[in-house]
Amino acid sequence: MNKREYGLVAVGELLGDFIGSEISNNLYDAAKFDRFQGGSPANLASNMARLGFKTAIISAVGTDNLGKYLVEKVQEAGVDTSLVIYDKNEPSSIVLVSRTTGTPDFIPYRTADRMINPEDIPDELLKKAAVFHTTCWPLSKQPSQSSVLDAAKRAKAAGCVLSADLNYAERVWPDREEAHRVIKEYLSHGALIKLSEDDAERFYGEQLQEERIFEDFFNWGAELICFTKGSKGSVVLWNKGKNKIENRPKAVNVVDATGAGDSFWSGFLAAYLAGKSPEACATAGANMARIKLTTVGPIKENVDLERLFD
């Protein structure tokens, strides 16, 4: 059970998501867009706040009205935004995303999101946090890359559980060799990691057997791997792969898949902090993702954690 003040401290991207107004094949077919608050760590922190946990986000936005909007939206979910950085030289980052029932087509326009320095992630907060979480976005650029790697070491020393979402995309991190080196360094401290089939294919640049992927991540230091497979469910492995469970979710009428992975991981981590079994964590993740898949934009309602175990 979580005994710390903060269930989660998430470090990384807080973005303007401009998502296609109608279902389309890709951005070529997307003519109109709606604006939402986005960014995987911000979504995770918001979702876990909706589940009743105190959370904090450390991100960088511009001193512009988009940045103001993004911070206010995260605050509305109950997230502590007191450590969000307002960079005076870079505008807030945005992403154009197609609305889809599968993996979205997207174009990132990256500016302020990388402007996180070591001093922006204080030890005092890490000592109060149960989980320290990040993604490929801050790890892909400097100065945030060095800042997060430094903070991961400090977080582990402070007793945090490390977490990562391998939301790898070549458009975000063109240097795949560097990506492998940095992810290995992060995992070397021991971490829970979530990745999807699409993430894995992009990360390796080819489609590999699941067993090879799991072997690599355990060798690099992962303590638990959650491998999501869309409508086919998820696989959770721990104890170097000696323990494994599979979860197959109920069919759902998808209206917006953007952020479904973040929703899954928020349900999983919430159940993990509540001391539940990996199987129960996977069920909670699938049910939280189900709520997101049937919601346009971010989840806006508070969610009773116990509801996710049905």
pLDDT per residue as tens digits for the range 244-262: 999 887 777 888 777 788 9
Q: How far apart are CA 131 and CA 267, in angstroms?
A: 14
> Is 198 inside a domain boundary?
yes
Of the candidates 122, 86, 164, the residue with the CA atom closest to the CA atom of residue 6: 122
pLDDT value, residue 249: 74
Q: Is residue 12 within 8 Å of 135, Cβ to Cβ?
A: yes
Tokens of 52: 């009743």
pLDDT in tens, 259-275: 788 999 999 999 999 99
Give the mean model confidence (pLDDT) for residues 137-141: 98
Give residue 1's pLDDT band: very low, low, confident or very high (50, 70, 90): low
Q: Which amino acid is at 201?
A: E
Q: What is the domain extent for residue 28?
A: 6-309
Residue 63 has pLDDT above 90, yes or no: yes
- Looking at per-residue pLDDT, the higher value among 233 and 136 belongs to 136
pLDDT at position 177, please? 97
Q: In the prediction, which pLDDT does 260 show? A: 85
Within-domain flag for 1: no
Q: What is the mean pLDDT of residues 140-154?
A: 98
Task: Please say whether the beta carbons of 40 and 135 come within 8 A.
Answer: yes
Residue 216's contacts (CB-CB under 8 Å, 6 or more residues apart) are none
DSSP conformation class of 249: P
- Residue range 188-198: mean pLDDT, rounded: 96
Query: Quick check: helix, strand or coil at residue 77?
Result: coil
Best CA proximity match to 13, nearest among 37, 48, 47, 49? 37
Length of the chain: 310
pLDDT tens digits, 3-17: 899 999 999 999 999
What whole-number percentage of the chain has pLDDT above 90?
84
**Residue 83 placed within a domain:** yes
Look at residue 310 in the predicted model and tell me its pLDDT: 80
Report how far residue 186's alpha carbon sits from residue 221's, in angstroms, rounded to the nearest whole number: 9
Strand ranges (E), 169-213: 191-196
Residue 194 is assigned to a structural domain of this protein? yes
55 within a domain of the structure (yes/no): yes
- Give a yes or no: residue 165 inside a domain: yes
Of 88 and 253, the structure prediction assigns the larger pLDDT to 88
- Given a cut of 90, whether residue 99 has pLDDT beyond it is no
Task: Report, as an integer, the average pLDDT of 53-72.
Answer: 98
Question: Does residue 22 belong to any structural domain of this protein?
Answer: yes
* Separation CA 135–CA 123 (nearest Å): 20
The tokens for 87 are 């960079």
Q: Is the sign of the CA dihedral 54, 60, 61, 62 positive or negative?
A: positive
Strand order from edge to edge, sheet including 33-38: 33-38, 15-23, 94-99, 106-109
Report whether pLDDT(92) > 90.
yes
Tens digit of each residue's pLDDT (9 = 90 or more) over 222-238: 999 999 988 888 999 99
Residue 14 falls within a domain, yes or no? yes
Q: What contacts 249, CB < 8 A, 6 or more positions away?
A: 231, 233, 286, 287, 289, 290
Domain count, the chain: 1
User: Exposure of 199 by Cβ count < 10 A (0-12 exposed, 13-18 middle, 19+ buried)?
Assistant: buried
Q: What is the CATH number of the domain that holds 218?
A: 3.40.1190.20
Segment 110-136 shows an average pLDDT of 98
Phi, psi of 231 (to 5 degrees): -65, -15
